[in-house]
Structure 1
Amino acid sequence: MRAVVFEEFKTFPTIKDVERPKPRAGEVLLKVAGAGACHSDVAIYNDFEAGGPGAVPPPFTLGHENSGWVEELGEGVEGFNVGDAYLVYGPIGCGHCKACSRGQDTYCENAAKMPYLGVGLGRDGGMAEYVSVPARNLVPLGDADPVAAAPLADAALTPYHAIKQALPHLAGGGKYALVIGLGGLGQIAVQILKALTGATVIATDMKEDAMRKAEEAGAVTVSGGEGQAQRIRDITGGRGVDAAFDFVGVGPTVQTAAASMARLSRLTVVGIAGGTLEWSFFTNPYESVVTNTYWGTIEDLHEVVDMYKAGQIVPEVHRFSMDEALDAYRKLQAGEISGRAVMVPHGS
């Protein structure tokens, strides 16, 4: 079968013929319906250094946002029917620590001892014709379109988890939420906030077309540049926002979010661009929390799929064939894709 393979750090991936995986005990082989191309993939092959923070040693097949149809069951697996569609929960932890027991493999206590971080993160992922995954990591899609659902595994799960953790700050009337960065995750974050809260959603990005899409989803937009934080505060009557979500994570975006916060608020940095923030008792709004989140739990993903089926989350998907998979990554790097590029290996 063909697959998009990450072979060396600082090297663009290649499409190669590789052996079709065989599901081991407790695993399910999926015929891939869709695999989302994510900026995290670009960081894996383009930004990280061997042995550095976040680096996952190659070679392996990329793709951590995956959906597919059951093709074959491994030893001991029951309760799945060949041909049924599933979404894949990407993180894979040890399976027996406290975090994994509650379905939060992202925070596995034994991650340092694991041979990989997840599907498409050290273990072969779904940028291929077939992928083998633990049966536990499958979330049923029913009759929902699995190709359009593929990005839900990260582009929806990640903002959903961050927003779910911040919901107490958005409960009640007169609340404000801020979304910084309106790429694939940020656009879905606006949809989730509108579905789960009554807050006024303020969204900002450097791209005008991205802000127009956020407006269509119900957000109030603020352009970047000088005075950005003050314009955000003006919308709130000067008080500041109750919850902010930075999906970029560079220094200026983190600082803009921090300057926009109200007292008793929560700022969640989701983007992993390495930005820093200087904290002071005299400038931080009282009891305003700055935190970060990474991906989400498998329970969260079940809830994301429920929202998708209800029409509350509608990912913007651009489909690419296997022959076009590398073009998808090139366009992603060049900033030419809004929404999510999804590789469809078996046709539309």
Structure 2
Amino acid sequence: MRAVVFENYKTFPVLKDVEKPKPGPGEVLLKVAGAGACHSDVAVYNEFDASTPGAVPPSFVLGHENSGWVEELGEGVTGFEIGDAYLVYGPVGCGHCAACSRGQDTYCENAATNPYLGIGLGRDGGMAEYLVVPARNLVPLGDADPVAAAPLSDAALTPYHAIKLSLPNLAGGGKFALVVGLGGLGQIAVQILKALTGATVIATDMKEEAMAKAAAHGAITVPGGPDQAARIREITGGRGVDAAFDFVGAAPTIKTAAASMAIGSRLTVVGIANGLYEWSFFGTPYESTITNTYWGTIEDLHEVAAMYRAGQIVPEIERFGMEDALEAYRRLEAGELSGRAVVVPHGAQ
């Protein structure tokens, strides 16, 4: 079968023929419906080396945002029908620690000794015609389009988890939420915030096109610039926002979000640009929190799938055939995509 393979650090992936996988005990073989191309993939092959925290050694098939149709069941697997569509939960932990037992494989207590971080992150992913996953990691999609759903396993799950943890800050009237960075995750974050809260959503980015999309989903937009934080505070009547989500994570974006916060607020840094922020007692609103999150739980993904089926999340995607998968990554690197690139190995179904 054809697959996009990460073969070495600092090296662009290759499209090649690899052996079609077979499901082992407790596993399911999926015929891949869609595989999202994510900036994290670019970091894996272009930015990381063996000494980078979170690096996963080559080689393996890329693709951690996946959906597909059940093709074959491994030994001991029941409860699935051939041909049914599922979304794939990407993280794979040890399966027996406290974190994994509550579906939080992202924070597996044995991550340092696990053979991989997840599907498409050390273990073969979905940038291929077929994919093997643990049966536990499958989330049903019903009749919803599985191709458009593929990016939801990261691009929606990650903001959903961060927003869900911040809901106490947004409960009640007169609340404000801030979304910094309007790429794939930020755009879906705006949709999730509008669906789950009554908060006024403020969104900011350097790109006018990105802000226009966020405005179409109900956000008030503020362009970047030296008065960015002041304009955000002005919208809140000077009080500041109750919850902020930084989907970039660079030092300037963290600084902007932190300067926009209210007393008792929560800032979640979701982007992994590894920016630094200097905290001081009198430079931070009282009882405000700066935290981070990584991906989400499998329970969260079930809830994301439910929102997708209900039409509350509408991902913007651009489809690529299997033979154009490397072009999807090239355009992703070049910033030439307006939506999430989704590789569709088998074409229209």
- TM interval, short-chain normalised: over 0.9
- Give the aligned residue type for 2:337: I
Cα deviation per residue 1:97-156 (whole Å; 9 max; x = unaligned)?
000000000000001110000000000000000000000000001100000000110000
2:48 corresponding residue in structure 1: 48
Question: Partners in 2 of 1:337 and 1:233 — Cα distance?
Answer: 31
Question: Partners in 2 of 1:71 and 1:257 — Cα distance?
Answer: 46
Q: CA deviation at 1:25?
A: 0.4
2:323 corresponding residue in structure 1: 323
Question: Partners in 2 of 1:199 and 1:336 — Cα distance?
Answer: 32
Equivalent position SS for 1:155: helix
Instruction: Note the 1:1-348 alignment, pairs <5 A.
Output: 1-348=1-348
Q: Normalization by structure 2: what TM-score?
A: 0.99
Q: CA deviation at 1:307?
A: 0.3
Equivalent position SS for 1:203: strand
- Give the aligned residue type for 2:131: V
Root-mean-square deviation over aligned CA pairs: 0.5
Q: CA deviation at 1:51?
A: 2.4
> For structure 1, which runs of at least 5 residues remain unmatched after alignment?
none
Residues 266, 289 of structure 1: 8 Å contact kept: yes
> For structure 2, which runs of at least 5 residues remain unmatched after alignment?
none
Question: Partners in 1 of 2:191 and 2:78 — Cα distance?
Answer: 36
- Give the aligned residue type for 1:293: T
Which has the larger displacement, 134-143 or 331-340?
A: 331-340
Cα deviation per residue 1:218-247 (whole Å; 9 max; x = unaligned)?
000000011100010000011000000000
- Give the aligned residue type for 1:52: T
Q: Normalization by structure 1: what TM-score?
A: 0.99
Seq. identity, %? 80
Q: CA deviation at 1:338?
A: 2.1
Which has the larger displacement, 143-152 or 44-53?
A: 44-53
Q: How many positions carry a matched residue from both structures?
A: 348
- Segments ≥4 residues shifted beyond 6 Å: none
Question: Partners in 2 of 1:48 and 1:246 — Cα distance?
Answer: 22
Equivalent position SS for 2:151: helix
Question: Partners in 2 of 1:79 and 1:20 — Cα distance?
Answer: 24
Residues 184, 340 of structure 1: 8 Å contact kept: yes
Question: Partners in 1 of 2:343 and 2:6 — Cα distance?
Answer: 16
Question: Partners in 2 of 1:14 and 1:44 — Cα distance?
Answer: 14
Question: Partners in 1 of 2:49 and 2:337 — Cα distance?
Answer: 26
Question: Partners in 2 of 1:276 and 1:22 — Cα distance?
Answer: 44
Q: CA deviation at 1:50?
A: 1.2
Question: Partners in 2 of 1:334 and 1:226 — Cα distance?
Answer: 26
Cα deviation per residue 1:16-73 (whole Å; 9 max; x = unaligned)?
1000001010000000000000000000001111122121100000000000000000
Question: Partners in 2 of 1:216 and 1:151 — Cα distance?
Answer: 20
Question: Partners in 2 of 1:28 and 1:261 — Cα distance?
Answer: 46
Cα deviation per residue 1:243-292 (whole Å; 9 max; x = unaligned)?
00000011100100000000000000000001010000011100000000
